[in-house]
Structure 1
């Protein structure tokens, strides 16, 4: 498991916004942030749990997403937000955690 980014929900606008219409959210580029922070502004019709839209999450790269979520409280089922990537969110002690599996 390897740290990928820290997702922080916000209602404020920020420099370098990236609109993701297919995900109904606007994000910052965490890869060009020295701390790995991805600011996330969810659109009004974004179909995500309130926990994900309001509480910061840590995101980790994993080798086997299905094995990692087995037996966990899944709050966003595995899905592919972009080519070569599958993600899911689990809840750990009341906080969201994103798990990411990149195609090899």
Structure 2
């Protein structure tokens, strides 16, 4: 089951309140502070994140069965622990990146 969590939009312009995620080489905003749950992402030029994530808007969902969500899909970013039991992965669907989010 999927529940819409946020929309991620790449930008080249600094955004108010952005913080740096060193591991991913990206500045991002806290979507929880956005009325429309928008997360702005500004990637470093040498970020290792897949180009589709860096260049196109992504949709993020909270999921209950990440393995089933990834089955048979093109995985852009395999399951990655963010800390505190939070995990993410990215798949490609309909030409855009889909972020899967869950807690273990």
TM-score (norm 1): 0.93
Aligned pairs for 1:10-89 (under 5 A) are 10-89=11-90
**1:23–1:81 contact (8 Å) kept in structure 2:** no
SS at match of 2:100: strand
**1:11–1:41 contact (8 Å) kept in structure 2:** yes
Equivalent pairs counted in the alignment come to: 103
SS at match of 2:15: coil
Judge which range, 84-93 or 51-60, deviates more.
84-93
For 1:8-49, what per-residue CA distance to the aligned partner results, in whole angstroms no more than 9, with x for missing partners?
A: 000101111111112211101100100000000011221111
Partner of 1:3: 4
SS at match of 1:34: coil
Q: Matches of 2:69 and 2:58 in 1, distance apart? A: 16
TM-score (norm 2): 0.93
**2:24–2:49 contact (8 Å) kept in structure 1:** no
Quote the RMSD (CA, aligned, Å): 1.0
Structure 1 unaligned spans of 5+:
none
